[in-house]
Amino acid sequence: MALIEARGLTKEFRIFRRREGVLGAFKDLFHRNYRTLKAVDGIDFIVEKGEMVGYIGANGAGKSTTIKMLTGILVPTAGTMQVNGYVPYRDREVYTRGIGVVFGQRSQLWWDIAVIESFKLLRRIYDVSIDDFNWRLKRFNDILELDKLLYLPVRKLSLGQRMRCDLAAALIHNPAILFLDEPTIGLDVLAKSRIRDFLKEINREYRTTVILTTHDLGDIEALCPRVAIIDKGKMLYDGSVESLYSHWGQDKLEDIVKRIYQGHRPGSVKGVKKGGVGLA
């Protein structure tokens, strides 16, 4: 069994459409207009241990919803999934011990206290032994150069510094899978490359599986041999970055992705459309 195995994963939302004006608000009191939105529509997603997969798509394509299902936050409308031996939404409290999550837009650290204090609290939350904790902290320190940051409150950190700390925080319990939702958003070139190096190192050293959503294709080029592309809730492509180039006959990833988002579909991609293609 693969580490992540999701089949036919679907998520629908019911969206309540407000009517305009006072009269509309009044009507809404009695009868609401609902519209069903398929945010994720029957995708298959299989990932083996130690893989690094880039998960991309235009805004609103369904990336975040997929991540939220895989991390156990949302319950899928249909489909089956098993991750790290658990059903994420059902076994949430046990399952989440084995994963790390970083939301680029939102820090998990406590705003007003020194970073190290957040780490200590997370140690308790994830039940990490003091030896493991110290060892990992030292290791992260070596690569991310945290030591100057550890004693500052989060609000005093720059975005890049904060992200380095957030990454370390998400890995303090050595999770089998690391989910990253836009981890490089808003970072400068140097900060980005530092984060990429760290992820590579962690992946090599601990065989941590990494699932990463991003709008920066540089992240994909630097980190992910495999890329999955989602559009309007459907999986458009799931395979190696290399074969993506050969199918499209373009030499810049950005151009390929741009064309995909614009709705172009080359005939030759058909064969690789359905799940699990391009596994190592």
Partner 1 sequence: MVEERLLFRQRAARYFVILKSYMAQYLKTKMAYRTDFFVQVFSDVLQQAVNLIFILVVFSKVPEIKGWTRDEVLFIYGFFLVPFGIYSGFFNHLFDVPEKYVLQGEFDRILIRPINAWYQVVVETMKPELMVDIVIGIVIMVYSGRAMNLSPVWWDLPLALALIFGATLIYAGVYTALASLGFWTEGNIGLMPMVYNLSQYGRFPMTIYRGPVKFILTWILPFAFVGFYPAALLMHRYEFTGYALLTPAVGIICFTVAYRIWTAGIRRYRGTGS
Nearer to partner 1, 107 or 184 (CB): 107
What is the spatial distance between Cα 243 and Cα 247, in angstroms, rounded to a whole number? Answer: 6
Site string for partner 1, 72-111 (x = CB under 8 A): xxxx-x-----------x--xxxxxx-x-x-x--x-x-x-
Residue with tokens 């089956």: 80
Q: Is 62 in the site for partner 1 (CB under 8 A)?
A: no
Q: Does 38 bind partner 1 (CB under 8 A)?
A: no
Site for partner 1 contains 139 (CB under 8 A): no
Question: C-beta of 121: minimal distance to partner 1 in Å?
Answer: 5
Segment interacting with partner 1 (CB under 8 A) among 1-9, 10-18, 212-220, 266-274:
10-18
Rounded to the nearest whole angstrom, what is the least distance from the CB of residue 155 to partner 1 in the complex? Answer: 10
Q: Does 59 contact partner 1 by CB under 8 A?
A: no
Joined tokens for residue 196: 């990429």
Kindly state whether residue 12 participates in binding partner 1, applying the rule CB under 8 A.
Answer: yes
Written as six digits, the tokens of 237 are 């492509």
User: Which positions from 148 to 177 touch partner 1 by CB under 8 A, shown as an x/- string?
Assistant: -----x------------------------
Q: Which is nearer to partner 1, 83 or 257 (CB)?
A: 83
Which SS3 state, helix, strand or coil, does residue 117 take? helix
Please report how close the Cβ of residue 45 comes to partner 1 at its closest, in angstroms: 18
Nearer to partner 1, 77 or 141 (CB): 77
CB atoms within 10 A of CB 103: 18
Q: Does position 129 bind partner 1 by CB under 8 A?
A: no
3-state secondary structure of 13: strand
Q: What is the dihedral of CA 58, 62, 66, 72, to 10 degrees?
A: 120
CB 97 to partner 1: min, Å? 4
The burial class, CB within 10 Å (0-12 / 13-18 / 19+), for 163 is buried
Angle at CA 104, nearest 5°, toward 228 and 123?
110
- The alpha-carbon radius of gyration of the chain (Å, integer) is 20
- Using an 8 Å Cβ cutoff, are 176 and 209 in contact? yes
Q: Which helix (H) or strand (E) holds 70?
A: helix 63-70
- Specify the residue, 62 or 72, whose C-beta has the smaller distance to partner 1: 72
Residue 10, judged by CB atoms within 10 A of its CB (0-12, 13-18, 19+), counts as middle
In the structure encoding, which two tokens stand for residue 24, read together? 């509309």
Residue selected from 7, 27, 120, 258 as contacting partner 1 according to rule CB under 8 A: 120
- Contacting positions for partner 1 (CB under 8 A): 11-14, 68, 71-75, 77, 89, 92-97, 99, 101, 103, 106, 108, 110, 112-114, 117, 120-121, 124-127, 153
